[in-house]
Structure 1
Amino acid sequence: MSATLYCNPLPLPQLPRGRYSGQPTAFEQQFDLPDAFCIFFGKDRPDFRESGDVEVLHYQPDGCWYLFGSSRAGDSVYRSRDFLTWEHFQISLTAGNGYAPAVTQRSGKVYLSFSLSPLYEADHPLGPYHSLGYLCDQRGAKLKAWLDPALFTDDDQRMYAYWGYGPADGGLFGAEIESLYPPVIKGEPTFLIDFNREHLWERFGEANEDPDFSSLEGASMFKHEGRYYLLYSANGAGFRNYAEGCYIGSSPLGPFEYARSSPFARQSTGIVNSCAHGGFVRGPDNQVWYFYSTCIRQRHEYERRIGRDRVFFNAAHEPQVCISASPRHLDGSDAGLLPVSVNKRVDSSSHEAWNIDRYAIDDCTHTWWQPAFNDPQPWLTLELRREFALRAIRILWSEVNLDYERGILPEPVKYRLDFYRRGESEPSRTLDFSDQQEDLVVDFRTFAEIPAQRVRLTILQG
């Protein structure tokens, strides 16, 4: 099996703690929030892990890719040297908010910010970072609605900022950054776009049923062949049909024209859904890729993972992305591997409450199989009905008992896979991961072809 395959959601190691999990942070407590936000800021919030609202920086000095995503502290960064495997690093930040990162490089420096956060500067994507202060207007006032920001450096090294939320905060805005010491924009903010009820996919709700409201957010800027692509997301990050759209302009601040391919990324069913709030980046061979959030939704509606897929441009220079949930080659082409487990027959050693074994294979992220708490060595057996040539596995682990305050922390899951040929009672092959040392909440592995009709997963620890 080729070592140049990836599969969504991406198997990022040591996924960080979710933004709205556990006790509210000191940063959260400084806001007087309405009752509508109690689901996020209430005191009885289950722990979960996430990374979303992703931005990837291709750092020119070392040629590596650095992935930044939303989390509780915003201090997790991933580095890839080959655009396939990712290493986890922690950075140190002075502010307490780590949601919706914005990152760019300019003149040998790296600049990073988050929603409602200062602008940080570093000599390297992994830091150390120091705060330059909040981005302000010409009068010295903090920019209004510094939410879901984006940073962009043009070829002439002029830097731009994008931010906002529509329609509640008036839409998305942009400005050139005139000074970094302290951070100040040039002139007045430029209005860019807002919710357009004629774009039906932008309308709020799972069925886009609300013609008068949306969550238009997640600005990102990318330049390709002399054109400026203003990406944005709608219609609400908690919905399965959350999607990504685009406006195209001839300068960083527009004017912009709506791309008729919008939403160019949308997937509302299956393991990989709610695919939005991301950005473009150049990968190997200068190909353009789209990194995006995708929802799990087991412990919280914003429990998310990261996906990626290749970007293609049509004759009108508009982006198009085919969201994938099966293995792909590094160039984005389909590896030809089909899922053979969905809704097949299954048996298990036990289950807890309503979390029956069939939920392990129903192609749905917000249901899961949970063994009984007193099951010493849980197992799940999958009957494929006929013999297949198996070449890869993908397991999305559930973490229903996480509790950081009580010391119940993430750990590597140790397990074994036994493969049985048709009519055999003893396994013909075994893949033993009992020495697993890497903490992977999404586990994707390829291997040499194994013919099998039954597969048994035995959880040894975790």
Structure 2
Amino acid sequence: MALAAALPCALTAFAAEPARLTYANPVDIDYRYNFEQLNLDISYRTGADPVIVRHQDAYYLFQTLADGYWRSTNLVDWRFIEPSRWPFDSMVAPAAISDGDRLLLMRSLFTPGAVLESRDPEHGKFDFLTRMLPELPNAVAPGLDRDLTRWHNGDPQPDAIPPGPWDPAFFKDDDGRWYLYWGSSDTFPLYGIELDMRRGVRYIGKPRALLALDPQQHGWERFGQDHRQEQHPTYIEGAWMNKVGGRYYLQYGAPGTEYNAYATGVYVGDSPLGPFQYAPYNPVGYKPGGFVQGAGHGSTFQDAYGNWWNTGTPWLGYNWTFERRIAMFPAAFSSDGQMSVSTRFGDFPHYVPQGPNADPESLFTGWMLLSYRKPATASSTDGEFVASRITDENPRTFWVAARNEPGQTVTVDLRGVRTVRAVQVNFADYKAGVFGDSDEIYTEFRIEGSADGRQWQPLAQTEAPRRDRPNAYLPLAMPARVRYVRYVHGHVGGAHLAISDLRVFGKADGPAPRAPRGVSAARAADPRQMTVRWRAVPGAVGYNVRWGTAPDRLNSSYQVFADQGTAQEIRALNRGVSYHVAVEAFDERGVSVLSQVLAVP
């Protein structure tokens, strides 16, 4: 992790604090340049479909189109590993699992392919568990309602399965039996089958169709931005299985990765191949608002202390529909079995716990966004790509310097002295012209602060070893009292220096805002949606609309900035389920208490 040099006393009056690890989404790794659009000459970095598994004393992160994977011992600092043996071309939506001794890995397949194993993933050493999976049985065991497995274009073969397994996920039960789950389609459901792992990998029995989308009942399963493309086919994908408290949690991503509403849902059952029941509190992982948007298709895992985490795939989508990043959110399973993923302030800095932690929301640092819509100036600008775009909390707009050369600067005026705790610099790929790997693909810069705009002192900088940091997150070694925050350029690998957002976190002086008043919530004639309204809170930067199936379980949230109004339509509800809703305000000083919690029948 890059840390700041110690600040002079002129800039800080804070005593040294015990170091606590923090992170901010998107996860700060060296996302790889994609080759999918070579024929269109589009160059961009991307990551998707993250699987994090804990193997022995470390965490391993696998994702789509990486040509390798990452290793971490603390969930903050990730080192890229180029493996000795790989599935011969780049991997999409992989399955990974540790059985304690081996780490198993399989890419998505349309035709039979290899499964790899490693007893030394730290050094990239993989061997074949099997060079060739058998063909999937082309028939489905009875179990799922045929109406939900019907093709959208008719019903010619309702019991046939598509080629695969695509989007696979391994699961090993407590009794030592193995299972595989898979599926990615707008027509087919998710499937599961038992595996014989005694010699290689063999299938036992026929695949079972386990669950399918039902957007007529589940509002969040509708396609499009904020679920507004009602007639468009929706996609189910990204199967993942956990066993908690003797019950089986089969998770899935929907309705499409290329929108803000991409989310994670869960069905729960008493056996690994079902039957499964839809959880009425779905979606469990949902983040449609804010800087990071989208939370679907990932994995759920426990850290070294037993704390739960859920990963997902936020949408970026400037260069190409499937330009994406990855995110990591605290998760939990309540005493009565309800699964939850905390995405509230999910793109603000969070602590990584160093021991058991029963409350995921307690991991929010309380460091507030200080840079939203603040004035910004730059040493140069390339045409329309002006500096003000770096404070709009939109990764699809960006500043471009006239020249990609060391010494270029962009400065944010916080409009008053603030206590700064961390900075996140999010680079954009604008006509990057980079394809493949190169020694020139790395990121270097420093962050400076000033109380008066004339005298500058170092706050943070990138450090060795060199690596690419498209979403560089730099917590300060000590808090700094500054009004101006300046980025000073060193190097990026692309043809242009382009920054989408320079996000500054910390606190302004004073009490937190008051709770919103005049909150109302009305369910529409279509019960899959409701509109929540509230009165503006003076000075608020934004609001979190929070809802759930009980007044003390408002686990879903939609972040709305104050300049976006004081009403939000929520289109993610389930028919036949009653809700409770409240609103909280936040500004640079902190977060209000909740408004009155309303019942929404």
User: So what's the TM-score if we normalise by structure 1?
Assistant: 0.87
Quote how far apart the aligned CAs of 1:452 are.
Answer: 0.5
Bigger Rg, structure 1 or 2:
2
State the distance in 2 between where 1:254 and 1:6 align. 37
State the distance in 1 between where 2:436 and 2:34 align. 16
Q: Deviations over 1:66-112 (max 9, x none)?
A: 111111xx432111112322111012313324100101233733321
Partner of 1:63: 57
Partner of 1:10: 27
Quote how far apart the aligned CAs of 1:155 are.
Answer: 1.6
What code does the residue aligned with 2:69 have? V
Partner of 1:427: 456
Preserved contact between residue 163 and residue 174 of structure 1 (Cα < 8 Å): yes
Partner of 1:253: 273
State the distance in 2 between where 1:134 and 1:442 align. 38
Moved more, 2-11 or 140-149: 140-149
Preserved contact between residue 186 and residue 236 of structure 2 (Cα < 8 Å): yes
Preserved contact between residue 149 and residue 218 of structure 1 (Cα < 8 Å): yes
Preserved contact between residue 136 and residue 183 of structure 1 (Cα < 8 Å): no
Moved more, 90-99 or 193-202: 90-99
Quote how far apart the aligned CAs of 1:350 are.
Answer: 1.9
Among 277, 294, 300, the residue aligned to 1:280 = 300
Quote how far apart the aligned CAs of 1:50 are.
Answer: 1.8
SS in 2 for 1:360: helix
State the distance in 2 between where 1:253 and 1:192 align. 7
Preserved contact between residue 293 and residue 306 of structure 1 (Cα < 8 Å): yes
Q: Deviations over 1:162-185 (max 9, x none)?
A: 1113442x2100000125645321
Q: Deviations over 1:311-367 (max 9, x none)?
A: 122454121112111111113511110110111011112222332111111111111
Preserved contact between residue 107 and residue 157 of structure 1 (Cα < 8 Å): no
Residue 312 and residue 94 in structure 1: after superposition, are their counterparts in 2 closer, same or farther (change >3 A)? Answer: closer
Matched, 1:321 2:341: yes
Residue 461 and residue 381 in structure 1: after superposition, are their counterparts in 2 closer, same or farther (change >3 A)? Answer: same
SS in 2 for 1:137: coil
State the distance in 1 between where 2:138 and 2:119 align. 29
Partner of 1:157: 176
State the distance in 1 between where 2:367 and 2:444 align. 25
Matched, 1:83 2:75: yes
Matched, 1:222 2:242: yes
Moved more, 224-233 or 315-324: 315-324
Quote how far apart the aligned CAs of 1:128 are.
Answer: 1.7
Moved more, 319-328 or 423-432: 423-432
Matched, 1:351 2:381: yes
Q: Deviations over 1:245-278 (max 9, x none)?
A: 0011111111111111211111112221111100
Partner of 1:312: 332
State the distance in 1 between where 2:318 and 2:92 align. 20
Q: Deviations over 1:199-248 (max 9, x none)?
A: 11111221323256211111111111211111101111001111110011
Mapping for residues 35-434 of structure 1, pairs under 5 Å? 43-59=39-55, 62-71=56-65, 74-91=66-83, 92-106=85-99, 108-116=101-109, 117-125=113-121, 126-130=124-128, 131-137=130-136, 144-168=163-187, 170-179=188-197, 181=199, 183-197=201-215, 198-208=217-227, 209-211=229-231, 213-314=233-334, 316-323=336-343, 324-331=346-353, 332=360, 333-373=363-403, 377-405=407-435, 411-421=441-451, 423=452, 425-433=454-462
Residue 178 and residue 136 in structure 1: after superposition, are their counterparts in 2 closer, same or farther (change >3 A)? Answer: farther
What code does the residue aligned with 2:273 have? L
Q: Could you tell me the percent identity over the aligned residues?
A: 24
Residue 64 and residue 287 in structure 1: after superposition, are their counterparts in 2 closer, same or farther (change >3 A)? Answer: same
State the distance in 2 between where 1:144 and 1:398 align. 36
Moved more, 381-390 or 294-303: 294-303
User: How big is the alpha-carbon RMSD for the aligned residues of Structure 1 and Structure 2?
Assistant: 2.5
Quote how far apart the aligned CAs of 1:9 are.
Answer: 1.1
Preserved contact between residue 97 and residue 115 of structure 1 (Cα < 8 Å): no
Q: Which runs of 5+ in 1 are unaligned?
A: 23-42
Instruction: State how many pairs are aligned.
Output: 435
Q: State the 4+ residue runs in structure 1 displaced beyond 6 angstroms.
A: 139-143, 406-409
Quote how far apart the aligned CAs of 1:375 are.
Answer: 6.3
Quote how far apart the aligned CAs of 1:304 are.
Answer: 1.9
Partner of 1:26: none
SS in 1 for 2:294: coil
State the distance in 2 between where 1:441 and 1:303 align. 13
